[in-house]
Amino acid sequence: MQLAILAGFVVAGLAPLLHRGFGARTPLLMAMLPAAFAVWLASLWPVLADGESLLLEWAWVPGLDITLTFLIDGLSWLFAMLITVIGTLVLVYAGEYLKGECDLPRFLVVITAFMMSMLGLVLADNLVALFVFWELTSITSYLLIGFHHTDPVARKSAQQGLFVTVGGGLALLAGFVMLAQAGDSWSLAVLNERGGQLTGHELYTPMLLCILIGAFTKSAQFPFHFWLPNAMAAPTPVSAYLHSATMVKAGVYLLARLHPALGGTELWEVTLSLVGAVTMLTGAFLAIRSINIKLLLAYSTVMALGTLTMLLGLGTEGALVAFVVFLLAHSLYKGALFMVAGIVDHETGTKDVTAMGGLRRVMPRTAVVACVASLSLAGLPPLLGFLGKELMLKSVLAADHYGGLILLLAFTGAFLTLAVATIVLLKPFFGPRVETPKTPHEAPAGMLVGPALLAALSLLFGLAPGTLDTLVEVTVNGLGAVEANVHLALWHGINLPLLLSMASLVLGLLVFRYWDGVRRRLAWLDPLIHRGPERGYEKLMAGMVWVAEWQTRCLQNGYVRNYLVMTLLVLLGLVGHALLVRHPLDIEMSIDAYFHEVVVAGLMIAGALAACVMRSRLAAVAAVGIMGFSIALIFVLFSAPDLAITQLLVETLTVVLLVLVLFRLPRFATLSAPAERWRDLVVAGSFGTLMTLLMLSVLNGERLPRISDYMVANSQPLAHGHNIVNVILVDFRALDTLGEMFVLALAAIGVHAMLRFHAAEYDAGHGQSGRRGNNG
Amino acid sequence: MESLMAVTIGVLFATAIYMMLRRSIVKLVIGLMLLSNAANLLIFSMAGMVRGAPPLVPKGLSAPAGAVADPLPQALVLTAIVIAFGVLSFAVVLVRRAWEVVRADDLDRMKDTDT
């Protein structure tokens, strides 16, 4: 299985080659891949139906306890099935939708890669593997949202989606690390058996919050919901697949997956049910205000994701049953509706629902599909959506915390959703025929088969909910409920949820009837929405750029001195801290020097100080020369004849060089203000003190065995040399010397080139343009 | 002797840094010279200073008879002296060239790429 998924990535990469051979039929060919996965998953069903779960082991990085082990139980089977089946249909659909698009191969590469990442995400048992697949879905989603990369809006939306989900991903990673620390395992299967150990752990709260941020950003929960509607810049097959049926459900999947490990606490229940309910209302409410068919559907997806989160928060057996049914129902009808929206957009050339109407006469088959799917969205019998909504209302009525508030939010969400469903169905397909930018025709078979199949499943499962009993039971058992016994049925008699459903039907129809008025009335809320979380995101982005500019202005301002001072201060801080705080100073001063040595040291100090205060360049160079020759004397006195020779030679050359060049250089000038001089004096003084203290503390420290003992002992026997320093240079560390020669050669070439340029320029006759040219 | 050298090296570093912080480019070059000398001296004296025992193997023996000065820091410093000379000569020519083109002695006036 693991190998199959990795091979799937390879197949994704091969799409452009296939496209060269098969042309427009490539999407059909690629659709075989998810179809094969679906068949394989279906063949596993008998095992799962018995209540077993499969663990496919595969070591990845054994030393770090990272595996690619796959866990197939009810929950991951359901998700994997949705991914592969809808994936197959979406590829078939996309083949028609993007017909003639020259970027079709690119689309196929990315969407197939996404499919494999998503499968890996829902099947992975290891937290690290799950995280890797999680980020892969974020990246592929980014590439798909920005598919029309020439459009600045698409680029901006893609970036926003990426930043929000990947930012959440970082929090998720931190949460995972804490989770693995607390549970002492990276395996989800193991962690889910250690629920009590985790919820009682001191890291529980930060761990949960980090994981929730990750899941909420991915699943577009309030206040991170804003990226999802913007993601509608993607081609419609992508919206149908990633941004309604699969990727946005990854967050919900993760919460469901971790429900046995982390759920059951008050923090979990309150956060999830409240955030879910608020998201639900926000989504439904924003949907009502939109006239773009894709935005209507996107906001209703936000609403559905909120519902799923809320149900997980409630956490009762009934809520978990509702979760599974609602999840399945939503994937079926929303996938279908998005594809219908794509057809409508494709055929009429507009996405504005107020600018179309009466389409059922020109595209009757599409209208039938739309009808079934939106009735399921509306939650009307006998469709699966009805079942989902009934179960949802039932479990909300039984909520422990904030029951009244959540019921109010859920009920409002429900009737607004009904209104959205009515708008999506009635506005384009019924009413008088409205002229559209393009003359619509019935959709081609390739585009209809996907939505038709999904709508048919909604109807089928709605009519015979008993067929889902085993699946829901197996999945709910995996979510940690004790041995649920599920019997789904459409008719439960007249009870409170049914009455609420009827009330929401009436209210929803009223909203639809007065939709234009409602939209106008709600216009006063516009400023509020503009100050919403999306504004916060933009502020954050602008703030980041501002900080970057500010620090560039501060740190990279072009003044050499400032760079130097900054570097020195950091060095002072770090070394000083290590020296004074971490290893308390332990210094012994002992002056065991002969008189002539003290004189030489005094000469050095005098030379260095004189170099600083001399006002003439020649005198300063002479002072540095005195210092250099004194150093040579030190080398002579302290057993380093080779160094003394080299120092003498180099010092002589340096003085000659400087004297030669000096009269071509500017005179010394006093440029700094007194305050600056004092500042520099303080910096220089503290740095000198630091170096002195550093050296004194090193001298007083423990002596390690000398590396050079080996060289001293082997200089004659191995290298046949009597001067050990020379042997080190040309034999033991010959490569260093080679490197040094390169450096010198480079410096020589540089010097030569600069002098030659100079000559060429003056030959050309002092031209200003010539100068500039040489500069560049 | 090491304590005395520690103080001397401190003074050398301080003067080097002070000169490198000047705005005049020629002073920057002088600072560079002081800095490389200070660093060489630091490495040399950190290893311990020994009088009258150069790391040489007498004729006829396969190793020095008694303890000798540590040859490794000496080899490193020898390399460093030569490299410092290379860097210095490059810097001097560069400064000269910059002066010819820009005709500015002030580093603050060379802060943009197109002055």
pLDDT at residue A43 is higher than 60 = yes
User: pLDDT grade, residue A523 (50/70/90)?
Assistant: confident
List, as ranges, residues 349-378 from A with C-beta within 8 Å of B. Answer: none
Residue A550 distance to chain B (closest CA, Å): 18
List, as ranges, residues 624-643 from A with C-beta within 8 Å of B. Answer: 624, 627-628, 631, 634-635, 637-643
A167-171, A607-611, A612-616, A760-764: which range is least confident on average?
Answer: A760-764
Of A565, A687, A707, the CB nearest to B14: A687
- Note whether B5 contacts A643, CB cutoff 8 Å: no
Among all residues of chain A, which has the CA nearest to that of B93?
A: A751
pLDDT at residue A745 is higher than 60 = yes
List, as ranges, residues 679-738 from A with C-beta within 8 Å of B. Answer: 680-681, 683-685, 687-689, 691-692, 695-696, 698-699, 703, 706-708, 711-713, 715-717, 721-725, 728-729, 733, 736-737
- When pLDDT is averaged across residues A13-42 and rounded to a whole number, the result is 88
List, as ranges, residues 39-58 from B with C-beta within 8 Å of A. Answer: 40-42, 44-46, 48-58
Among all residues of chain A, which has the CA nearest to that of B59?
A: A722
- Give yes or no for B109 touching A (CB within 8 A): no
> pLDDT: is B1 or A374 the higher one?
A374
- Give yes or no for B80 touching A (CB within 8 A): no
Tokens of A478: 């995996």
Tokens of A358: 């009466």
The whole-number pLDDT of residue A774 equals: 40
Among all residues of chain B, which has the CA nearest to that of A566?
A: B21
- Note whether A608 contacts B11, CB cutoff 8 Å: yes
- Residue among A671, A665, A691 at smallest CA distance from A559: A671
- Note whether A687 contacts B11, CB cutoff 8 Å: no
A617 CB-contact burial (10 Å; exposed 0-12 / middle 13-18 / buried 19+): buried
- Note whether B9 contacts A737, CB cutoff 8 Å: no
Confirm whether B23 is domain-assigned: yes
User: pLDDT grade, residue A137 (50/70/90)?
Assistant: very high
Q: Structural domain of residue B27, as residue ranges?
A: 2-50+71-108
Of A597, A639, A729, the CB nearest to B75: A729
> pLDDT: is A472 or A489 the higher one?
A472
The whole-number pLDDT of residue A38 equals: 93
Which ipTM score applies to this complex?
A: 0.93
Residue A154 half-sphere exposure, CB side, CA atoms within 13 Å?
17
Among all residues of chain A, which has the CA nearest to that of B53?
A: A639
Are A252 and A215 in contact by the 8 Å Cβ rule? The answer is yes
pTM over 0.90, yes/no: no
H/E element, A61: strand A59-61
- Give yes or no for B79 touching A (CB within 8 A): yes
Among all residues of chain B, which has the CA nearest to that of A605?
A: B8
The whole-number pLDDT of residue A631 equals: 93
- Note whether B72 contacts A740, CB cutoff 8 Å: no
- Residues above pLDDT 70, as percent of chain B: 96
Q: Which of A603, A682, A692 to mutate to test the interface with B (most CBs of B within 10 A)?
A: A692
Give the count of Cβ contacts less than 8 A between chain A and B.
279
- Note whether A638 contacts B50, CB cutoff 8 Å: yes
pLDDT at residue A56 is higher than 80 = yes
The whole-number pLDDT of residue A289 equals: 85
> pLDDT: is A581 or A541 the higher one?
A541
A282-286, A322-326, B80-84: which range is least confident on average?
Answer: A282-286
CB atoms within 10 A of CB A205: 12
User: pLDDT grade, residue A768 (50/70/90)?
Assistant: very low
What does the mean pLDDT of chain A come to? Answer: 86
A134-148, A166-180, A361-375, A487-501: which range is least confident on average?
Answer: A487-501
Of B11, B24, B92, the CB nearest to A668: B24
The whole-number pLDDT of residue A765 equals: 52
Residue B60 distance to chain A (closest CA, Å): 10
- Residues above pLDDT 90, as percent of chain A: 33
pLDDT at residue A771 is higher than 50 = no
Please state, in angstroms and rounded to a whole number, the distance separating the CA atoms of residues A659 and A657. Answer: 6
Confirm whether B42 is domain-assigned: yes
Q: What is the pLDDT of residues A563-586, one digit of tens each?
A: 888 899 999 999 888 888 877 777
pLDDT at residue A773 is higher than 70 = no
Residue A568 distance to chain B (closest CA, Å): 9
Among all residues of chain B, which has the CA nearest to that of A750?
A: B90
The whole-number pLDDT of residue A763 equals: 56
Confirm whether B57 is domain-assigned: no
pLDDT at residue B115 is higher than 60 = no
pLDDT at residue A776 is higher than 50 = no
Strands A59-61 and A70-72, by their bridges, are unpaired
Confirm whether B101 is domain-assigned: yes
How many domains in chain B?
1
- Give yes or no for B35 touching A (CB within 8 A): no
Tokens of A555: 């740190």
- Give yes or no for A675 touching B (CB within 8 A): no
| Residue A382 preceded by cis peptide, ω within 30 | yes
Residue A179 distance to chain B (closest CA, Å): 49
Highest mean pLDDT among A477-486, A600-609, B18-27, B99-108: A600-609
- Note whether B93 contacts A688, CB cutoff 8 Å: no
Confirm whether B63 is domain-assigned: no
- Note whether A751 contacts B72, CB cutoff 8 Å: no
Tokens of A758: 């100079």
On chain A, the residues whose CB falls within 8 A of the CB of B83 are 740, 743-744
A455-469, A585-599, B20-34, B88-102: which range is least confident on average?
Answer: A585-599
- Give yes or no for B102 touching A (CB within 8 A): no
List, as ranges, residues 543-602 from A with C-beta within 8 Å of B. Answer: 557-561, 564-565, 568, 588-593, 597-598, 601
Residue-wise burial string across A590-609, b where 16 or more C-beta atoms lie within 10 A, e elsewhere: eeebeeebeebbebbbebbb
pLDDT at residue A267 is higher than 80 = yes
- Note whether B34 contacts A611, CB cutoff 8 Å: yes
The whole-number pLDDT of residue A760 equals: 60
- Give yes or no for A622 touching B (CB within 8 A): no
The whole-number pLDDT of residue B59 equals: 86
A108-112, A173-177, A250-254, B111-115: which range is least confident on average?
Answer: B111-115
- Give yes or no for B34 touching A (CB within 8 A): yes
Q: CATH code at B91?
A: 1.10.287
Please state, in angstroms and rounded to a whole number, the distance separating the CA atoms of residues A293 and A427. Answer: 10
pLDDT at residue A526 is higher than 80 = no
pLDDT at residue A686 is higher than 90 = yes
Confirm whether B20 is domain-assigned: yes
User: pLDDT grade, residue A595 (50/70/90)?
Assistant: confident
- When pLDDT is averaged across residues A133-138 and rounded to a whole number, the result is 94
Residue B48 distance to chain A (closest CA, Å): 8
Q: What is the pLDDT of residues A392-430, one digit of tens each?
A: 888 888 877 777 888 888 888 888 888 889 888 888 888
Helix orientation angle between A384-397 and A317-348, rounded to the nearest 10 degrees: 140
Confirm whether B32 is domain-assigned: yes
Residue A543 distance to chain B (closest CA, Å): 26
Please state, in angstroms and rounded to a whole number, the distance separating the CA atoms of residues A705 and B34. Answer: 31
Helix orientation angle between A317-348 and A249-262, rounded to the nearest 10 degrees: 170
Phi, psi for residue A98 in degrees, rounded to 5: -100, 20
The whole-number pLDDT of residue A446 equals: 84
- Note whether A743 contacts B42, CB cutoff 8 Å: no
Q: Which of A695, A737, A738, A772 to mutate to test the interface with B (most CBs of B within 10 A)?
A: A695
Which residues are CB-contacts of A319 (< 8 A; sequence separation ≥ 6)?
Answer: A311, A312, A395, A398
The whole-number pLDDT of residue A761 equals: 61
Of B23, B52, B90, the CB nearest to A750: B90
pLDDT at residue A215 is higher than 90 = yes
pLDDT at residue A770 is higher than 70 = no
* Cα→Cα distances A146→A63, A90, A541, Å: 38, 18, 19
On chain B, the residues whose CB falls within 8 A of the CB of A590 are 3
Confirm whether B24 is domain-assigned: yes
- Note whether B19 contacts A612, CB cutoff 8 Å: yes
Angle at alpha carbon of residue A334, lines to A328 and A337, rounded to 5°:
145
The whole-number pLDDT of residue A775 equals: 38
- Give yes or no for A153 touching B (CB within 8 A): no
- Residues above pLDDT 70, as percent of chain A: 97
User: pLDDT grade, residue B97 (50/70/90)?
Assistant: confident
